[in-house]
């Protein structure tokens, strides 16, 4: 059965000089309002132990516009300013709900410049988008069509560090589930091979950052030689940002193609719950792990499986997928990272990555059958093992290799 989802469609556009100036002013005002409201909320909490609501922040914004110092806030659309306050309110809601850290101030240099417009602040007619306070429509490159007969509910305009302009339109889209299949796949993430499948296939890691590392290093050296505050330094900074953007775009494109293929071909997708943040503490592998973008691949698999009616099973991070022999169920005592092939006491020779992917698949099928393993499991206080690990070891021990 088809389902309705909220989906963002992102396009690049090329503003005129007047539009660019108007959007730049809007970005600055959004950042100022957000930071001022955050400052007031922080002062009220630490000084008076009092929480400021969104309604109170909105009233403060009205008072700020009446002052001579901040009268320029009236020159831009009020909707992005109100949306900034709503985003701040969401940040505090997540903080008090212990789902996020305390909101941080937006930096002019480090934060992404963006502004969000709701339906009252833009016009979308005949395939043309016109924002509030602007005379003409934006020159958008329509790389793919919007859903037929659907008008965006929210429009977010942004400018990245490379100076590229993007518009993201949030629409209601109808997603048709993929045809049901009996295939299932276990996925083991790696560095030499980006992922290894339980079928034995190894997807080569493109290593996008490594391919452009020489260009990036040369551009960064040129940037370091430029005088701070000069126009030449800004040009050099823009060149560095463009190289980073090129790397990120190619990596994202590859991950989208890979995740879409895995979701289309398999009814059940099994992955491991990797703690990428902790893995990045290994300074010898941090750069390669960041370039592989395992967390981004998992995010793509999560929402695409939900969209197309697939099942995503996440196995406990403590499950010994690499050390567990897929033939007899014996767990090797030690298996250093440089050992890529090992022989078990039963005589079976295992490829480290393929064996891990097969064990993950067996664990995922066992966990799916008992309704466990969809989320990372906590360790049992009595046995020190998760229910997924126990179920998997029972399912894989003494069974033939998949």
Paired with 159 in beta bridges are: 113, 165
pLDDT of residue 122: 95
Measuring CA to CA, how many Å separate 198 from each of 68, 125, 357, 374, 401?
A: 66, 49, 5, 19, 11
C-beta of residue 260 within 8 angstroms of C-beta of residue 277: no
Looking at the DSSP bridge assignments, the partners of residue 130 are: 123
Could you tell me whether strands 154-159 and 113-118 are parallel, antiparallel, or unpaired per DSSP bridges? Answer: antiparallel
Task: Give the pLDDT score at 41.
Answer: 94
Residue 122's CB is within 10 A of a number of other CB atoms, namely 23
Give the residue among 330, 322, 332, 314 at the shortest CA–CA distance from 396. Answer: 330
Contact 164, 114 (CB under 8 A): no
SS3 breakdown of the chain: % helix, strand, coil, rounded to 5?
A: 45, 20, 35
Angle between helices 54-66 and 78-96 (to 10 degrees): 140
Query: In whole angstroms, what is the distance from residue 401 CA to residue 359 CA?
Result: 9
Report DSSP letters for 4-71, one per residue: EEEEEEEEEE---HHHHHHHHHHHHHHHHHHHHHHHHHHHHHHHH--PPPHHHHHHHHHHHHHSSTTG
Residue 388 in tokens: 């997924």
> Which tokens in the block code for residue 202?
């190894």
DSSP secondary structure of 113-152:
EEEEEEGGGEEEETTEEEETT-SS---EE-SSPPPTT---
* Residue 319 CB contacts under 8 Å (≥ 6 apart), including other chains: 272, 359, 360, 363, 386, 388, 389, 392
> Rounded to the nearest 5 degrees, what angle is found at the Cα of 309, between the Cα atoms of 388 and 253?
95
Is the CB of residue 325 less than 8 Å from the CB of residue 332? yes
| Structure tokens, 131 | 């924002």
Judge contact between 129 and 167, C-beta under 8 A. yes
228 contacts 242 by C-beta, under 8 angstroms: no
Residue 191 · residue 279 · CB < 8 Å? no
Check: CB of residue 214 under 8 Å from CB of residue 136: no
Could you list the active site residues? 188, 272, 353
| Contact between 33 and 85 (Cβ < 8 Å) | yes
Helix H or strand E encompassing 211: helix 208-211
Tokens of 178: 């993929």
> What is the pLDDT, as a whole number, of residue 260?
95
pLDDT in tens, 128-170: 999 999 999 999 999 999 988 889 999 999 999 999 999 999 9
Instruction: Give per-residue burial for 170-196: e unless 16+ CB within 10 Å, then b.
Output: bbebeeeebeeeeebbbbbbbeebbbb
Residues of the chain with pLDDT under 70: 371-402
User: Which residues make beta-bridge pairs with 141?
Assistant: 12
- Tell me the per-residue pLDDT of 217-246, one tens digit each, with 9 for 90 and over: 999 999 999 999 999 999 999 999 999 999
Cα–Cα distances in angstroms (integers) from residue 194 to residues 33, 280, 359, in the given order: 43, 16, 18
Phi, psi of 184 (to 5 degrees): -140, 155
């Amino acid at each position: 059965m088809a389902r309705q989802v909220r989906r963002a469609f992102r396009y690049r556009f090329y503003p005129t000089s007047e539009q660019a100036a108007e959007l730049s002013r809007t970005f600055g005002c959004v950042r100022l309002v957000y930071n001022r409201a955050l400052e007031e909320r922080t002062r009220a909490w630490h000084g008076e132990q009092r929480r400021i609501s969104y309604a109170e922040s909105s009233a403060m914004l009205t008072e700020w516009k009446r002052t001579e110092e901040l009268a320029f806030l009236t020159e831009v659309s009020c909707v992005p300013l109100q949306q900034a306050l709503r985003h701040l309110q969401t940040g505090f809601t997540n903080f008090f709900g212990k789902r996020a850290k305390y909101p941080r101030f937006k930096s002019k240099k480090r934060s992404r410049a963006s502004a969000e417009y709701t339906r009252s602040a833009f016009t979308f007619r005949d395939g043309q988008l016109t924002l509030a306070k602007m005379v003409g429509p934006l020159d958008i490159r329509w790389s793919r069509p919007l859903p037929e007969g659907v008008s965006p509910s929210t429009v977010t305009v942004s400018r990245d560090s490379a100076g590229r302009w993007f518009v993201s339109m949030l629409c209601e889209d109808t997603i048709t589930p993929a045809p049901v299949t009996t295939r299932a796949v276990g996925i083991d993430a790696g560095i030499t091979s980006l992922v290894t499948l339980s079928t034995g296939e190894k997807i080569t890691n493109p290593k996008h950052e490594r391919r452009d590392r020489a260009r990036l290093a040369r551009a960064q050296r040129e940037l370091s030689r430029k005088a701070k505050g000069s126009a030449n330094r800004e040009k050099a900074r823009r060149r560095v940002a463009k190289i980073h953007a090129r790397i990120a775009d190619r990596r994202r494109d590859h991950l989208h193609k890979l995740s879409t293929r895995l979701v289309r071909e398999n009814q059940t997708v099994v992955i491991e719950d990797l703690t990428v943040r902790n893995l990045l503490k290994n300074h010898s592998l941090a750069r390669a792990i960041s370039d592989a973008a395992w967390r981004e691949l998992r995010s793509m698999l999560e929402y695409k499986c939900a969209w197309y009616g697939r099942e995503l099973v996440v196995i406990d991070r403590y499950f010994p997928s690499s050390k567990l022999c897929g033939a007899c169920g014996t767990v090797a005592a030690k298996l250093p990272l440089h050992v890529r092939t090992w022989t078990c006491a039963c005589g079976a020779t295992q490829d480290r990555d393929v064996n891990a992917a097969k064990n993950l698949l067996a664990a995922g099928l066992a966990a799916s059958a008992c309704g466990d393993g969809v989320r990372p499991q906590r360790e049992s206080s009595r046995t020190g093992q998760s229910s997924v690990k126990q179920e998997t070891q029972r399912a894989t021990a003494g069974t033939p290799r998949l």
